[in-house]
Structure 1
Amino acid sequence: MSAVLGRIRALLPRERMTRADVIAGLPGAIGSVPDGMASGVLAGVSPLHGLYASMAGRVFGGLSTSTRLMVVTTTSASALAAGSALTDIPDEDRSAALVMLTLVAGGVMIVAAVLRLGRYTRFVSHSVMTAFLLGVAANIAFGQIPALLGVDAEGGFALAKAVNVLTHPGEIDWRSAVVGVSALILMWALGQTRLRLYASLVALLVPTVLVVALGWDSVSRVSDIATIPTGFPIPGLPDLTVLSPALLSGALTVAVIVLVQGAGVAESAPNPDGSRSSANRDFTAQGVGNVAASLLRGMPVGGSVGQTALNRTAGARTRWAAIWSGLWLVVLLRGTGRASAHANPRSCPDCGSCRVPGSGQAVGHLEQRIYLPGRVRYNADGDAVAAGHSRGGNRGRALTDPAAEPGSHRPQGGSPAGGR
């Protein structure tokens, strides 16, 4: 037992944990909820993957970073790269493929550290990184215009979808536009004040209250895509059957992007004691963070410019701040998950008699609130289980009854639901 405890102590940061680190982790945890969910959306998968990755990256990646204030979490660049690698993969396999891609990318990062490839990051010019980040920002902005304005846009890439929305103004949902624009204004305005640490939280809460208070059902909600989990996911190995040459290539691309961006974070956030960061050690930390994220059904993570800056602004002093950020996130999700379990249930539009609790647990023939026509739905594991109201195989079984089979419920006066 003493040997096990000794190994655990060896993994923990050697710096003394301070009260400032514990407090500094809270703003990062709050901001990571919308950031993590947005990363999942950017990658084209369930937002749950982003939340799981945010927890795993901060805790396990933060254990051994050489850049002490670096926060290892989801990033827009890695999310977009992962989403591009999954473009040709069927919806029902995307979650499993993303988890496998994350594991492979983490392995590549660890191998890069073993081969001591960190010294080559200094050859990446500042102009290249600037152009890369500008491209990522533009892709994000164009890609989110349809969701911002509540339009189901057509197009093969982000810019095409944005043009489709702007050329069809009659399809814009004004309620969605009001909610989205108000969130942007709040983020910008509060960012100029002393409340900037909580800007993302306020921008998330105020429009949410507005939607609920006014009953704007036309505004898309997170519950239309996935249910927020009530705790930490159970670790599990990725599905090896989804591994392919294309997935390996995508994982290599993600690894390179994460490592280069992490090197930029190390330059922008020097250690408080003046010690020099080790690129290879940061490679290892980010690799470990990705391996842990994959085992917890997460997505790629890396050194985040924005979250690291928030960590420094909040008063972080050691690696413990990033670790506490991940722990606070677990606490937050546990609390919000319990609160959502008592939300008002919704009726099934298919039969009118089933009720679906806010916790996402199924009653009757619905699984995980699968009733949004024309959209892919995800269960609590992040798997795509249906498009619209359809269900299929074990992926669509109700979590409240592991033995439940699709089609076991009969709407009043109708045929088996599963036979539609």
Structure 2
Amino acid sequence: MPGLGTLLHYRRDWLRADARAGLSVAAVALPVGVAYAELAGMSPVAGLYASVLPMMVYALFGTSRQLIVGPDAATCAMVAATLVPIARGNAELYISLSVTLAFLTGALCLIASRLKLGFLADLLSRPILLGFLNGVAISIVVGQLGKVFGFQYRHANLLERLGELPGNLWPVQWPVVLVALAALGVLWASNRWLPRLPSALAAMVVCGLGVWLLGLDQRGVAVVGPVPAGLPQLHWPSLPLRNLGELLGAAAALALVSFNSAMLTARSFAAKNRYDVDADGEFRALGAANIAAALSQGFVISGADSRTAVNDANGGQTQMVSVIAAATIALVMLVLTGPLAYVPQAALGVVLIYASLKLVDWRGLWSLRRYSRGEFLLALGTTVGVAFVGVMPGVGLAVTVAVLRFLMRVARPRESLLGVYPDRDSFHDLAIHPGAAAVPGMMVYRFESPLTFFNAAYFKHRVLALVDTAETPVYWLVIDSLPITQFDLTALAMLRELNAELAERGVTLAFAGRREEWLNWFRERGKTPDERLYSTLQAARRDFNAKMAGR
């Protein structure tokens, strides 16, 4: 518990900044928690439940001094996408499944931490994460338009919802639309002129007051409704065995997405404040926080970039910020839940749309096109997949495509022939250095990948093809071993075959680089290499020249 050490040795001069930051985080977390609970398909109070105990637990286990955990747009959208088809309108079952999903997500995070799988933070590459957030933002914006204009969708699919829009926008529900416009105006004005004011909270307060004073809830404006006061009762979630398979797959995806998102935020603010975060420790902290969310009747949580930014902007120093913010939200739940009943759904929809638009990064997507066409297509495909196919299938498809692209690069890697300049001893790629020339009689081949079962046959085919089509006779074939970081038994068997076939052609096979590593590998297995092994390409060239001179 790295956070516990900080809290036990807390310095008094940190308290003023941490208290200001904690109150500011709570002011943002209150409306966002209510709004994101709606997005996840849960009651508003569940969003508050998911904001209290998880923050307290993360304050103890987290290695980031700035990160704030809580409901997150992307994970909430994934929760809804997972549970709506399973629950099929059964509200009680939906809540039970949501709690179980949070517990399973937390458990998988703890297992990942134990297995030191923190490197999975890099599995969702930037193009995938960029496309994922863009796709989620599109889904949320279209989904929340129903609240903003006062209608309900009949379909869950985005394409079908887009088809419904023209018919649902007329006749206009003017009281609902005016409330939405008021919320948008408050958001814009507070961000424009009062940037330190929690704009989401201001929008909800203003619109809630308007509903209460004008009785708009009696004129067709949907509101949150009564929110039960008090703190959640802790209880152990029941595991529905019938749905366990579906939930485990979704929990694994949620664990990966929420961890990756949290790590991006944590690393960004850690770099800004000049300290390091432990990836495996963050997996453990996120797991503990999600289990806390499940025990307190919440739902899956993640790192919250907007609340973390509020924390940093207000000078938050330590994990005490999370403790103060959680205590503030708990106090509101005990004595101030009454006013939440008048918060209009239209205002929640505007807050969610406003927050979702910040997830969209079309500029970043377009910049990928200049960098790499493949990366751009991957990001664009992820955006389309998440938006139109679904969050879970879209992410799964994107990760699968990314892994396949990586395997293709390893299976068919970049290759080159090397040569030397007349007055130098160093070797260079002949395709890049036109002034260099191959050593007469010696072909130097570079294969920029490990040698494994899925590229061994290709390696052999390419080597033999290069030898057979060489313009001048080849007496030695030297493989540059530096890019070959490892090889397996399939590759070893292939090298035996390659050595025999080259010998039939009168060609000697040699390897230059990683000589001691190769010798140790053979010694550990009680084998003797048939190939010539050299420490460097220069050593291989000197031996080749000596052998040729002695002919």
Q: Shorter-chain TM-score: which interval? A: 0.7 to 0.9
1:340 deviates by 7.5
Deviations, residues 224-276 of structure 1 (Å, cap 9, x unaligned)? xxx32322111001122365211111111111110111111123212665221
- Number of the residue aligned with 1:230: 229
Matched ranges for 1:290-369 at <5 A = 290-337=290-337
Deviations, residues 32-85 of structure 1 (Å, cap 9, x unaligned)? 122111221111222222110011221112222112100011101111111111
Deviations, residues 283-326 of structure 1 (Å, cap 9, x unaligned)? 11111110011000000011111111111112211111122111
Cα distance in 2 between the residues matched to 1:11 and 1:313: 21
Cα distance in 1 between the residues matched to 2:10 and 2:269: 17
Change (3 A) 1:122 1:15: farther
Change (3 A) 1:10 1:195: closer
TM-score by length of structure 2 reads: 0.57
**Larger-Rg structure:** 2
Identity of aligned residues (%): 27
SS at match of 2:106: helix
Q: Are 2:73 and 1:76 aligned?
A: yes
- Number of the residue aligned with 2:254: 254
Q: Are 2:169 and 1:172 aligned?
A: no
1:339 deviates by 6.6
Which protein, 1 or 2, shows the higher relative CO under an 8 Å CA cutoff with sep ≥ 6? Answer: 1
- The answer to whether the Cα contact below 8 Å between 1:272 and 1:317 also exists between their aligned partners in 2 is no
Matched ranges for 1:88-167 at <5 A = 88=85, 89-90=87-88, 91=90, 92-167=92-167
In structure 1, which of residues 49, 52, 55 is the aligned counterpart of residue 49 of structure 2?
Answer: 52
Cα distance in 2 between the residues matched to 1:131 and 1:13: 42
- Number of the residue aligned with 1:182: 182
Cα distance in 1 between the residues matched to 2:8 and 2:173: 50
Change (3 A) 1:307 1:123: same
1:328 deviates by 0.8
Deviations, residues 183-235 of structure 1 (Å, cap 9, x unaligned)? 12211221123344321111111111112222212111100xxx323221110
Give unmatched runs, 5+ long, in structure 1: 1-5, 344-420
Give the AA of the match of 1:77. Answer: A
Give unmatched runs, 5+ long, in structure 2: 343-551
Give the AA of the match of 1:231. Answer: G
- The answer to whether the Cα contact below 8 Å between 1:151 and 1:171 also exists between their aligned partners in 2 is no
Change (3 A) 1:20 1:183: same
Cα distance in 2 between the residues matched to 1:33 and 1:255: 24
Q: Are 2:242 and 1:239 aligned?
A: no
Give the AA of the match of 1:55. Answer: V
- Number of the residue aligned with 1:289: 289
Higher helix share: 2
- The answer to whether the Cα contact below 8 Å between 1:13 and 1:320 also exists between their aligned partners in 2 is no
Change (3 A) 1:148 1:128: same
In structure 2, which of residues 38, 50, 59 is the aligned counterpart of residue 62 of structure 1?
Answer: 59
Change (3 A) 1:9 1:310: closer
- Number of the residue aligned with 1:206: 206
CA RMSD of aligned residues (A): 2.4
TM-score by length of structure 1 reads: 0.74
Deviations, residues 318-353 of structure 1 (Å, cap 9, x unaligned)? 111122111111112222136789x9xxxxxxxxxx
Cα distance in 2 between the residues matched to 1:305 and 1:38: 16
Give the AA of the match of 1:257. Answer: V
- The answer to whether the Cα contact below 8 Å between 2:227 and 2:338 also exists between their aligned partners in 1 is no
- Number of the residue aligned with 1:382: none
Matched ranges for 1:364-375 at <5 A = none
- The answer to whether the Cα contact below 8 Å between 1:143 and 1:159 also exists between their aligned partners in 2 is no
- The answer to whether the Cα contact below 8 Å between 2:151 and 2:168 also exists between their aligned partners in 1 is no
Aligned residue pair count:
334
- Number of the residue aligned with 1:194: 194
1:8 deviates by 11
Cα distance in 2 between the residues matched to 1:233 and 1:119: 35
SS at match of 2:84: coil
